[in-house]
Amino acid sequence: MDQRVPGLETEGDWRSARGDASLSDVHASVSVQAGGSLWRRLFAFMGPGYLVAVGYMDPGNWATSLAGGSRFGYALLFVALLSNVMAIVLQALAARLAIGAGRDLAQACRDAYPRPVAWALWLLAELAIVATDLAEVIGTAIGLNLLFGIPLELGVLLTSLDVFLILYLQRVGFRVVEAFIVAVLAIIAACFGLQIVMAHPDWGAVVRGFAPTTDLVTNPDMLYLALGIIGATVMPHNLYLHSGIVQTRAYGVTLPEKREALLFATIDSTLALMFALTINASILILAAAAFHATGRHEVAELGEAHALLSPLLGSALAPSLFAIALIGCGLNSTVTATLAGQIVMEGFLSIRLPQWLRRLVTRAIAIVPAAVVTIWYGEAGTSKLLILSQVVLGLQLPFAVVPLVTFTASRRKLGALVAPLWMTLSAAVIAAVIVALNMKLIYDFVQG
């Protein structure tokens, strides 16, 4: 029986013909029955997409969506849809890189670029993870405070315990990690579904909100929030994460096996991201219906939104559902961010540490700055920090997107699994849009 690691035997135009397996402790640990039915083989690939989708509905997205919905009503629904389409294309490319080259994005950058460039990209990737964790730590701590009255500072410290949760879950099996994530996602969806029913949104305005508006480029405040939504939706660490966790499937080494794996992985991520769009749109719709429609156009803080939901929606249950969903989003996001941190550190630096130490190191790199900032600013400035963290993520996106598009467009690197021309052109347009939005944001900031 061929025991080779899928894809690592690919020669291609890489500095090293072989490399270390991504997430080696769970690499190729999920069996894919080659002789099973089509549906059973597809089901074996369902899971990584939902771990990726978690990053598209983290607490940082709540702050930008709440601010956007309360200030501009349903107008920014188009941005949520646009960013979701961007995400589907980019995550499909991340899966293609993993399956076609047997490398996660961090390993690919390490192999393809000179060491100074790779180190610079590593630092930027770590900065993106710090920004991600900043949003997750703040969001989870606020959720604990709203639901249980736990002080914000103590809540920040409690969020660090999730590292032990992922250690336990991954020891049981990677499928258990995926099942845990999906179960929490179901709870989050149920919470938002009930809140939307209570809010009674204007569904005609909701439909019109998915159409583009010129205000997006003429209104600097709307652009700022739009970039925040894109940063909260298309997140740099998700590209590293997806290219690593796809390789937990033992999909084989032949070209037909890899083609099928790529198809199933793309279906998985596309369905999961459509689910994420539903949640993201629900947050914005809830803010538009509960706050903008009642003249409260400046609601951006999670605590303020929690306090206003009960009197505005006429239900004491609404604030509790809001807090439960917030905690669930924060918990899920920290689990996946920890995995992304491991992929980034191992891929760029080739550091091989014992499993428990590796988890603690990658988690500490992100959570320590996040905890310091959160405790320093306290509850008063959390909404601004949340939105700022998402803008930082948006500014980091090109440094992950451009290498990904370049690698997957190269036949010398991916061989027969090179991305088709239409996908490469679509991804190039997405990269150009992201860069243009970033330049416009910087220009507006400099101009005051």
Of 108, 88, 415, nearest in space to 266 by CA: 88
The overall pTM is greater than 0.75: yes
Report, as an integer, the average pLDDT of 244-255.
92
Model confidence pLDDT, tens digit, residues 286-338: 889 888 888 887 776 677 777 777 777 777 788 888 889 888 888 888 778 88
Cβ(423)–Cβ(92) below 8 Å: yes
What pLDDT, on the 0 to 100 scale, is given for residue 259? 95
- Averaged pLDDT score across all residues of the chain: 82
Q: List the domain range (segments joined by +) for residue 83.
A: 32-446
More confident residue, 117 or 294: 117
What pLDDT, on the 0 to 100 scale, is given for residue 379? 63
Beta bridge pairs of residue 250: 31
Q: What gap in Å lies between CA 118 and CA 348, rounded to an integer? A: 7
Model confidence pLDDT, tens digit, residues 159-168: 777 767 766 7
- Work out the angle at residue 152's Cα, subtended by the Cα atoms of residues 337 and 310, and round it to the nearest 5 degrees: 95
* Widest CA span in the chain: 67
> Is there a domain that residue 327 lies in?
yes
What pLDDT, on the 0 to 100 scale, is given for residue 307? 76
Q: What gap in Å lies between CA 278 and CA 288, rounded to an integer? A: 15
> Is there a domain that residue 22 lies in?
no
Length of the chain: 448
Q: What gap in Å lies between CA 247 and CA 22, rounded to an integer? A: 7
Of 55, 80, 53, nearest in space to 66 by CA: 80
Q: What gap in Å lies between CA 29 and CA 173, rounded to an integer? A: 8
Cβ(396)–Cβ(131) below 8 Å: yes
> Is there a domain that residue 15 lies in?
no
Phi (first) and psi of residue 314, to 5 degrees: 70, 30
Residue type at 208 in one-letter notation? R
Give the total number of structural domains in the chain: 1
Beta bridge pairs of residue 31: 250
> Is there a domain that residue 210 lies in?
yes
Ramachandran class of 32: left when φ > 0, alpha when ψ lies in -120 to 50, beta otherwise:
beta
Q: What gap in Å lies between CA 39 and CA 104, rounded to an integer? A: 27
Please check the confidence at residue 24 and state whether its pLDDT lies above 50.
yes
Please check the confidence at residue 205 and state whether its pLDDT lies above 80.
yes
More confident residue, 84 or 318: 84
> Is there a domain that residue 21 lies in?
no
DSSP state of 418: P
> Is there a domain that residue 14 lies in?
no
Of 130, 71, 135, 103, nearest in space to 326 by CA: 135
Domain CATH number, residue 322: 1.20.1740.10
Lookup result for tokens 């930008």: 64
Model confidence pLDDT, tens digit, residues 373-427: 767 766 666 666 666 676 777 778 889 999 999 999 999 999 999 999 999 999 9
Please check the confidence at residue 72 and state whether its pLDDT lies above 80.
yes
Write the CA distances from 333 to 2, 18, 71, 382, integer angstroms.
36, 31, 26, 18
What pLDDT, on the 0 to 100 scale, is given for residue 19? 58
> Is there a domain that residue 1 lies in?
no
pLDDT band at 442 (very low <50, low <70, confident <90, very high): low
> Is there a domain that residue 5 lies in?
no
